[in-house]
């Protein structure tokens, strides 16, 4: 484990930065390319270890890669894996592939690193079993996750209690392989990438009563141009928002409504935002975002907004501490089930830097003092905490030391260098 000191200049900056390819979309492009029969291409896929995990697992199912080109015989011809499939740190890899593999006539076992092995998987069981799949979990509803089907899956109409894109996508990837149509309904605010893509291919539709209905069929081979990751761009947006008159533009990032709640939060804090849709990938918007720092107040985040800003909530805490007034995040109990207990890790981070923060059952409260102090932040193995701690250095007169800084490579290798380059 490496301790990395981060100290940031006091001046403003103005930069345009192309951030790495979107992680959520890269996983989906790779999995759909593997489910299709023929040659697909994934251009600009995310460079992090999580996306590499999806690629590696698919190799064990018989999918072939040559750079950006993927060749598959189609999901019907996936090979039975010889050993447990190691999804590394990536919950998206494990949950989405558990769905796709639940329809296969062989048994697959999915495992991961120490963090993934304690994440909750019970949420997958009811939706997949409703389709007729067999799902077995390890102790306490954790991985290993064992899935497979004795015969063809059937249609079903399911209801889920949490706004989880991963659970919905797992269900949808299984349902695509069923004998009849299946539908899912649950709380909104989630990233609906999978559903937009299925709709664009005629393999699904949103119904009048708010359900998403999957129409079974074959996914086409495709050429995917993956846009930039707004969850990565969010670190740069935060740096700009926290420094008066700093400005950053991130062209071509995903603007899926389930991804950009954080822009609304930045506006509440007082930042100047402009976001413009410039293109689409399979019905899913892509565009350019500019953030300019105008001073910081506070924000209240709850409900659907908490879901649509989910991965960015550690940054909301940083902005809250550097702002004025009290910032409150509620409706985010799901944060406890991320790569770390992210409510605890976020509050610990702010406190380690001399700020005032308290945990709530479903979020946190942060007191805005306008500055933080030098200190050591434990990343708790969580890439988003490591990167949020580096961003917090914008409000520190001195250094933030990040213990376990290398974990940023899960989503963004080269992150720290890019942060420093803002002032070059
Ligand atoms: C993801 C969905 C979210 C998000 C995760 C990626 C996805 O999880 O936190 O980083 O790509 O589907 P849930 O929707 O399951 O909470």
Atom of ligand 1 nearest to the CA of 337: 16
Instruction: Give just the sign of the alpha carbon dihedral 216, 221, 225, 226.
Output: positive
113 belongs to the catalytic site: no
Residue 72 · residue 41 · CB < 8 Å: no
Atom of ligand 1 nearest to the CA of 311: 9
Ligand 1: residue whose CA is nearest its atom 10: 311
Taking the mean position of all CA atoms in its chain, how far away is CA 273?
22
Ligand 1: residue whose CA is nearest its atom 4: 311
Instruction: Identify which of 27, 48, 191, 332 to mutate to test ligand 1's pocket (most ligand atoms within 8 A of the CB).
Output: 191
The answer, yes or no, to whether residue 2 has pLDDT greater than 90, is no
Mean pLDDT of 163-189: 98
- Distance between CA atoms of 408 and 222, rounded to whole angstroms? 30
Pull the structure tokens for residue 222: 């495709």
Is the pTM higher than 0.75?
A: yes
Question: Distances from the Cα of 243 to the Cαs of 45, 217, 227, 272, 309, in angstroms?
Answer: 31, 50, 27, 12, 21
- Distance between CA atoms of 250 and 138, rounded to whole angstroms? 42
CA of 259 to the centre of ligand 1 (A): 10
> What is the pLDDT of the chain when averaged over all its residues?
98
Q: Within 6 Å (CB) of ligand 1, which residues are found?
A: 24, 27, 92, 164-166, 169, 190-191, 310-311, 334
Residue 13's pLDDT is what?
98
Residue 1's pLDDT is what?
67
CA of 53 to the centre of ligand 1 (A): 16
- Distance between CA atoms of 95 and 93, rounded to whole angstroms? 6
Quote the percentage of the chain above a pLDDT of 90. Answer: 100
Pull the structure tokens for residue 177: 């392989």
Question: Distances from the Cα of 46 to the Cαs of 23, 35, 56, 167, 275, in angstroms?
Answer: 5, 19, 14, 21, 22
Instruction: Identify which of 92, 94, 306 to mutate to test ligand 1's pocket (most ligand atoms within 8 A of the CB).
Output: 92
Q: Which of 50, 192, 311, 382 is catalytic?
A: 311
Mean pLDDT of 163-188: 98
Mean pLDDT of 262-283: 98
């Amino acid at each position: 484990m490496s301790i990395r000191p981060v100290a940031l200049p006091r001046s403003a900056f103005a930069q345009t930065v192309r951030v790495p390819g979107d992680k959520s979309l890269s996983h989906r492009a790779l999995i759909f390319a593997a489910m299709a029969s023929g040659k697909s291409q994934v251009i600009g896929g995310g460079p992090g270890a999580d996306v590499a995990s999806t690629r590696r697992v698919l190799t064990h199912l018989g999918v072939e890669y040559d750079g950006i080109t993927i060749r598959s015989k189609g999901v019907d011809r996936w090979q039975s894996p010889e050993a447990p499939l190691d999804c590394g740190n990536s919950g998206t890899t494990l949950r989405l592939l558990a769905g796709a593999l639940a329809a296969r006539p062989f048994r697959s076992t999915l495992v991961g690193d120490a963090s993934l092995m304690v994440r909750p998987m019970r949420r997958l069981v009811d939706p997949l079993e409703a389709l007729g799949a067999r799902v077995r979990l390890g102790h306490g509803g954790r991985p290993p996750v064992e899935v497979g089907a004795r015969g063809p899956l059937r249609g079903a109409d399911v209801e889920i209690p949490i706004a989880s894109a991963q659970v919905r996508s797992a269900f949808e990837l299984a349902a695509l392989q069923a004998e009849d149509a299946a539908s899912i309904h649950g709380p909104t605010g989630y990233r609906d990438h999978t559903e937009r893509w299925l709709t664009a291919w005629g393999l699904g539709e949103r119904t009048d009563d708010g359900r998403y209905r999957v129409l079974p069929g074959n996914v086409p081979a495709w050429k995917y141009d993956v846009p930039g990751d707004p969850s990565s761009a969010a670190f740069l947006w935060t740096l700009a928002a926290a420094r008066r008159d700093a400005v950053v533009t991130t062209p071509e990032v995903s603007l899926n409504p389930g991804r950009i709640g954080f822009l609304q939060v930045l506006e509440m804090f007082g930042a100047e935002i402009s976001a413009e849709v410039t293109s689409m990938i399979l019905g899913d918007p892509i565009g350019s975002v500019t953030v300019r720092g105008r001073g910081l107040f506070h924000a209240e985040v709850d409900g659907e907004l908490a879901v649509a800003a989910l991965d960015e909530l550690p940054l909301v805490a940083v902005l809250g501490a550097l702002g004025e007034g009290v910032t409150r995040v509620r409706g985010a109990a799901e944060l406890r089930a991320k790569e770390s207990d992210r409510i605890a890790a976020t509050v610990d981070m702010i406190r380690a830097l001399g700020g005032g923060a308290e945990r709530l059952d479903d979020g946190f409260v942060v007191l805005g003092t306008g500055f933080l102090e030098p200190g050591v932040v434990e990343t708790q193995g969580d890439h988003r905490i490591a990167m949020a701690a580096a961003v917090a250095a914008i409000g520190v007169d001195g250094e933030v030391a990040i213990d376990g800084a290398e974990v940023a490579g899960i989503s963004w290798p080269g992150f720290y260098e890019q942060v420093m380059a803002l002032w070059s």
